Amino acid sequence: MKILLTGSDGQLGKEFSKIKLINYKTNKKDFDITNYYQMKEFIEKNKITHILNTAAYTDVENAEIKKQYTLEVNNPENLIEICKEYNIKLIHFSTDYVFNGKKINYTEKDETNPINYYGYSKLLGEKNIQRKLKNYLILRTSWLYGEKENNFIKKIIKNTENNEIIKGTIDEISSPTNVKDLLIPTLKLLEKDSVGIYHISGDGICSRYLWIKYILKYLQRNNKLERVYQKDFKLIAKRPIISVLSNEKIKNELNIKINHWKYSTFEYINFLKTNS
């Protein structure tokens, strides 16, 4: 196996970059997933057999404005073409936002129906991969956080400074996921040479409000926390109300446990405390 990682400066990409098994760790400059000729040259020179694609356009609000750019990155036609041409296995990440949020515990077999442009662009990417490639993995996850700046937990920590009032939505429910919790399941699927769609998120479910409540508890901060609705923020993109992904398929097939979101949030905050 010769594995190339894309998007290595992103939250998930940074975590996968730490793994020795990955031969080439590339960012947008070295390996732009929209640039056919740049990718072709790299692939031919280095005889890549697997591409782990963590590159994406993940700004849900701006995706409503920069639609063409969002689509180019999230439905990576050129990357898919390259994988087909060179017989490369594509391991691609996707999102709970491919669902409309009207059901609890979405399985891999459930009907997709995105309600924002980011979700729509990611779904087109999924469909294109399924249509054009035989050897692929699509790994859907939710509410990711890692070492990169500006993730949800780090934003809350910043907001707690100066005793600010924090607002948490009760009509956004899913599963927070530490990028670290995606590594072992992904590598095991690779090892087994599995094909198809899999859901992998932190175990358990919560609203943004409840997640913040636990973040404040673990930080030992006493900021006032208000329950609000999506409509109380001036958002352009609607978020699904309940987009929890079922982990059953991956847990059964790999015989693994996945950390509960509370445990991983606690560990992450401890990590930040000890490294600040």
Ligand X SMILES: NC(=O)c1ccc[n+]([C@@H]2O[C@H](COP(=O)([O-])OP(=O)(O)OC[C@H]3O[C@@H](n4cnc5c(N)ncnc54)[C@H](OP(=O)(O)O)[C@@H]3O)[C@@H](O)[C@H]2O)c1
Binding site for ligand X (CB under 6 A): 6-7, 9-13, 28, 32-34, 54-58, 73, 93, 95, 122, 141-144, 148
Nearer to ligand X, 11 or 207 (CB): 11
Burial class, 174, CB count within 10 angstroms (exposed 0-12 / middle 13-18 / buried 19+):
buried
CB of 11 to ligand X, least distance (A): 3
* Complete DSSP assignment for 81-116: HHHHHTTPEEEEEEEGGGS-SBSSSB-TTSPP--SS
Residue at shortest CB range from ligand X: 10
Which amino acid would we find at residue 17? S
Nearer to ligand X, 33 or 269 (CB): 33
CB of 222 to ligand X, least distance (A): 27
Nearer to ligand X, 162 or 203 (CB): 203
Nearer to ligand X, 98 or 254 (CB): 98
Nearer to ligand X, 54 or 265 (CB): 54
CB of 243 to ligand X, least distance (A): 9
Question: Helix 117-132 crosses helix 77-85 at what angle (to 10 degrees)?
Answer: 20
Provide long-range contacts, Cβ within 8 A and 24+ apart, for 31-39.
Answer: 31/4, 31/6, 33/6, 33/7, 33/73, 33/76, 33/78, 33/79, 34/72, 34/73, 34/76, 34/78, 34/79, 35/78, 36/78, 36/81, 36/82, 39/78, 39/79, 39/82
CB of 257 to ligand X, least distance (A): 21
CB of 140 to ligand X, least distance (A): 7
CB of 151 to ligand X, least distance (A): 7
Give the integer Cα–Cα distance in Å for 56 and 76.
Answer: 9
Nearer to ligand X, 29 or 47 (CB): 29
